[in-house]
């Protein structure tokens, strides 16, 4: 016996609804038009496409081996650490500001007239990239790490505020009701009924934000707002690729170290000491980057 050929077995596939098909083709067309329009106006010739990988490879190869001369290494390492300090202080500033604001923006802990302005404030702040904020602040606060710290702190208020608000809204409101029934006022209900529930999640968000901010602060140096970025720009401008390699190496090492240790602490905060999968596992999965806004 031979297997039936395709002609023998009439495969009947389910048809898609017409409106859905139209939508699909419409979206595809928009994407293709957008891509062609972008590609043609962006001055990317076939010639450049052909030579680019070789040029990039040449530069990347020149960064290896990195310059490991003692003085330079300690200078670069100091700069990378400065980026970490910027990220940490910026995250702390944002945490302190966003925590009360998040309670003022959440559905279940704030009156309605207060929620909307606070939420819009978070959205507005989030739309300003850190570097744009730093460009605005630079003439006021001057060159240096403080400008970068402020910019990162401000921007993070937006994201942390949004995430914390969502965490507060997803709690079990029972304990807070109990506190109110026992005669507590709104503030006491939040303190004893809500805060203990959300604090682990929110602290985990802070840590997650810190990881992102380490990368953001590394870039701050590009405009002179502190950290390791200025070093990379200088070395690349003077075409000292082995030194640029050192900068990249230490950036990678420190970022990796912070990412892994912070992720371990986060896991411990959310899942607790035990190995049992709690209801918070889902929150933990969100933290690992699956929810959209958390990553920015």
Partner 1 sequence: MTTTEGPRPGDREIVPPRKPPRPWWYWAVAAAVIAFTVYSGRRVGFSLTSLKDLPSNPLWEKFWPPEWDWVFANAIDPLIETFQIAILATLVGCLLALPVSFAMSRLTSHNTYTYFGSKAIMNLIRTIPDLFWAKLFVTAIGIGAFAGTLGLIIFSLSVMVKLFSETIDAADPGPLEAAEAAGGTHIASVKVGVLPEVLPNYVAYALYVFELNIRASVVLGLVGAGGVGRVLEAQRQFFQFDRIMGIVILLFVVVFTLEQISVAIRRRLV
Q: Which residues bind partner 1 (CB under 8 A)?
A: 31, 34-35, 37-39, 41-44, 48, 51-52, 55-56, 58-60, 81-82, 84-86, 88-89, 92, 123-124, 127-129, 131-132, 135-136, 138-141, 144-146, 148-150, 215-216, 218-219, 222-223, 226, 229, 232-233, 236, 239, 248, 251-252, 255-256, 259, 285, 288-290, 292, 295-296
Q: Which helix (H) or strand (E) holds 283?
A: helix 281-285
The Cα–Cα gap between 169 and 178 comes to 17
Task: Closer to partner 1 by CB, 101 or 109: give it.
Answer: 101
* Residue (of 204, 190, 194, 230) closest to 79 by Cα position: 230
Residue whose tokens read 């889902």 = 282
Q: Which helix (H) or strand (E) holds 167?
A: helix 145-169
CB of 70 to partner 1, least distance (A): 22
CB of 147 to partner 1, least distance (A): 9
CB of 173 to partner 1, least distance (A): 22
Give the list of residues 6+ apart from residue 92 with CB closer than 8 angstroms, or none: 153
* Residue (of 180, 102, 90) closest to 130 by Cα position: 90
3-class SS of residue 151: helix
Any idea what DSSP says for residue 222?
G
CB of 144 to partner 1, least distance (A): 6
The Cα–Cα gap between 201 and 270 comes to 7
Task: Closer to partner 1 by CB, 176 or 244: give it.
Answer: 244
CB of 206 to partner 1, least distance (A): 11
Length of the chain: 296
Task: Closer to partner 1 by CB, 153 or 171: give it.
Answer: 153
CB of 237 to partner 1, least distance (A): 8
Task: Closer to partner 1 by CB, 48 or 172: give it.
Answer: 48
CB of 56 to partner 1, least distance (A): 5
Task: Closer to partner 1 by CB, 198 or 231: give it.
Answer: 231
The Cα–Cα gap between 125 and 161 comes to 10
Do the Cβ atoms of 269 and 203 come closer than 8 Å? yes
C-alpha angle 92-97-103 in degrees, rounded to nearest 5: 125
Largest CA distance in the chain: 84
Task: Closer to partner 1 by CB, 278 or 285: give it.
Answer: 285
Task: Closer to partner 1 by CB, 195 or 236: give it.
Answer: 236
Q: Which helix (H) or strand (E) holds 17?
A: none
* Residue (of 208, 179, 117) closest to 171 by Cα position: 179
Task: Closer to partner 1 by CB, 66 or 229: give it.
Answer: 229
The Cα–Cα gap between 42 and 36 comes to 10
CB of 171 to partner 1, least distance (A): 22
């Amino acid at each position: 016996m031979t297997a039936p050929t395709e002609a023998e077995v009439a495969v009947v596939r389910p048809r898609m609804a017409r409106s859905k098909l139209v939508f699909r083709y419409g979206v595809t067309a928009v994407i293709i038009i957008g891509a062609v329009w972008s590609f043609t106006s962006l001055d990317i010739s076939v010639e450049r496409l052909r030579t680019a990988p070789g040029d990039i490879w040449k530069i990347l190869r020149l960064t290896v081996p990195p310059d490991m001369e003692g003085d330079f290494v300690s200078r670069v390492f100091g700069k990378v650490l400065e980026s970490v300090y910027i990220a940490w202080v910026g995250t702390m500033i944002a945490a302190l500001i966003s925590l009360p604001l998040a309670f003022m923006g959440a559905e279940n802990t704030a009156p309605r007239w207060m929620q909307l302005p606070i939420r819009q404030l978070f959205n507005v702040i989030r739309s300003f990239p850190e570097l744009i904020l730093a460009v605005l602040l630079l003439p006021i606060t001057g060159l240096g790490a403080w400008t970068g710290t402020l910019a990162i702190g401000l921007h993070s208020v937006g994201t942390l505020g949004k995430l914390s608000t969502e965490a507060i809204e997803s709690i079990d409101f029972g304990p807070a009701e109990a506190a109110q029934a026992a005669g507590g006022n709104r503030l006491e209900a939040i303190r004893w009924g809500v805060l203990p529930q959300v604090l682990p999640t929110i602290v985990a968000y802070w840590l997650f934000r810190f990881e992102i901010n380490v990368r953001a602060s590394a870039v701050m140096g590009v405009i002179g707002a502190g950290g390791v970025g200025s070093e990379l720009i200088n070395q690349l401008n003077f075409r000292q690729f082995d030194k640029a390699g050192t900068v990249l190496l230490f950036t990678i090492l420190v970022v990796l170290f912070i990412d892994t240790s912070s992720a371990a602490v986060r896991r411990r905060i959310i899942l607790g000491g035990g190995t049992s999968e709690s209801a918070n596992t889902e929150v933990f999965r969100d933290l690992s980057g699956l929810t959209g806004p958390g990553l920015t």
